[in-house]
Structure 1
Amino acid sequence: MPSKLVGFTACLVVLAACGSSTSPAGSGGGGGGSGGCTPTATQVCMVGLSFSPTSLTVSAGTTVTWNNGSPTTHSVTSASGSADVYDSPDLGAGATFQHTYNTAGTYHYYCRFHGINGNPPTGMSGTITVN
């Protein structure tokens, strides 16, 4: 009888482990949607193969945050001819990148993996307008 109890307990432990799945906060787990990223007045979300919103207007001195809410690796890279040059590292799921815009103007950016550089860029790209 004790060996049956041990076997039954082992089965329960294995079944419990198979039926449970957790994801650390901000890991991009959960599938679908925007991975918990919500666009705001200073935050751009990377969802699928696009930025959301694609254009943002901020005041000079504002720091913009890009948040990768998808499981796909992305980047945030200033477009050719930009007066403000930046290039994020590769951003995995849940990763963020920040850049502060200090000078008024229109700034185009794109994802090195899913956009095409140009002024303005095409594909996965966006625009920040600084007043």
Structure 2
Amino acid sequence: MPDASSPSRIRSSRLSVRASPDELARWSQSARFLGHATTADWVRTLLQDAVLSHHRGGTVSRELRQLRGELGRIGNNLNQLAHAVHLGDAVACGDTLQDIDRLKDRTDHLLRDLRPVRVQRARSVSVPLMH
């Protein structure tokens, strides 16, 4: 690992993100709660974790859009089945019920992935100032 004075450790580049004052306050509070000295330190950790895990952004929103589309199709199927029942037709709804169970499982899996990992909060240490 390079020492702090090596050229690869010097932070001479800047990455900027625009945020509302509320967003910035929430991010800062979250960073402190998770034991980071600064929001920048927390963001560096998040980015490094994403690089190491090969996690690409947008996965959750894409998955939610897919789930929403499937829910719409299942709802359409349920409406067609209900209409057939009201007409007195015999209906087989096994496939639709299996689709609902499969979608429920996918949703549960996504929600488990979204749950934040509990990080033990770092204890603050008082260090006397030298005068």
Is TM > 0.5 for Structure 1 vs Structure 2? no
Larger C-alpha radius of gyration, 1 or 2? 2
Shorter-chain TM-score category? under 0.3
Name whichever structure is richer in strand by fraction.
1
Given the two structures, how large is their TM-score scaled by the length of structure 1? 0.19
Given the two structures, how large is their TM-score scaled by the length of structure 2? 0.19
Name whichever structure is richer in helix by fraction.
2
